[in-house]
């Protein structure tokens, strides 16, 4: 039985049954495409799988299951790999050259150092992988998402959502530590 035959015919199958039927094929195609692209820009198999599952869920919500699931998976994996390679080729580390140099002012240097120490201390108090992820993002070497994902053993596509949750956690933690400013002026 091939994965194309595994998707039931007739009324639209439940997304869970389509995912179960296509899981081995999506994994194999993503690994094969990531291996094939090793000569160019690196593409992680887990990132490809994640992108294909997203495209499949979008399709199931709109048009329903593809008529040729195996062919659809192959073409979608290749398309997502091409998109990922283009993105990697154009990815550059962020450097802000327009920022004023605080080197001339000792007060700014002292305040900046104190702020960085406070931020690092707050990041170190975060739970679990949030501390590791945000510490990697704050590294002086300014690593790319691909480098951070490799260092932490995570999927590159998961870094953004996890980073967002971790920053929310950091924001809530710091808000609890800092007193809210009092209202000034006339009270109502």
Q: Which domains does the chain have, with CATH numbers?
A: 12-90 (no CATH), 106-177 (1.10.10.10)
Q: Between these two residues, 186 and 147, which has the higher pLDDT value?
A: 147
d(CA 31, CA 44): 8
User: How many whole angstroms separate alpha carbon 39 and alpha carbon 41?
Assistant: 7
Q: Do 69 and 76 form a contact (C-beta atoms < 8 A)?
A: no
Q: Whole-model pTM?
A: 0.46
Mean pLDDT, rounded, of the chain: 80
Read off the tokens for 53: 């599952």
Task: Map residue 169 onto helix, strand or coil.
Answer: helix
Report the pLDDT value the prediction gives residue 76, as an integer from 0 to 100. Answer: 93
Confidence check: pLDDT of 4 > 50: no
Per-residue pLDDT at 62: 86
Residues in the chain: 188
User: pLDDT of 121-150, one tens digit each?
Assistant: 888 899 888 999 998 988 888 888 889 998
């Amino acid at each position: 039985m091939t994965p194309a035959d595994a998707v039931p015919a007739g009324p639209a199958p439940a997304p869970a049954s389509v995912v179960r039927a296509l899981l081995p094929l999506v994994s194999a195609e993503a690994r094969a495409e990531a291996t094939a692209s090793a000569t160019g820009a690196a593409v992680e198999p887990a990132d490809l799988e994640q992108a294909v599952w997203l495209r499949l869920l979008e399709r199931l919500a709109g048009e329903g299951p593809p008529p040729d699931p195996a062919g659809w998976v192959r073409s979608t994996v290749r398309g997502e790999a091409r998109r990922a390679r283009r993105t990697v080729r154009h990815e550059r580390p962020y450097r802000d050259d327009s920022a004023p140099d605080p080197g001339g002012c000792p007060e700014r240097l002292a305040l900046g150092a104190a702020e960085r120490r406070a931020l690092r201390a707050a990041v170190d108090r975060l739970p679990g992988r949030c501390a590791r992820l945000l510490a990697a993002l704050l590294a002086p070497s300014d690593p790319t998402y691909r480098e951070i994902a490799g260092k932490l053993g995570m999927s590159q596509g998961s870094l953004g959502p996890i980073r967002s949750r971790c920053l929310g956690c950091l924001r809530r933690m710091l808000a609890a530590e800092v007193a809210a400013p009092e209202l000034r002026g006339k009270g109502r």
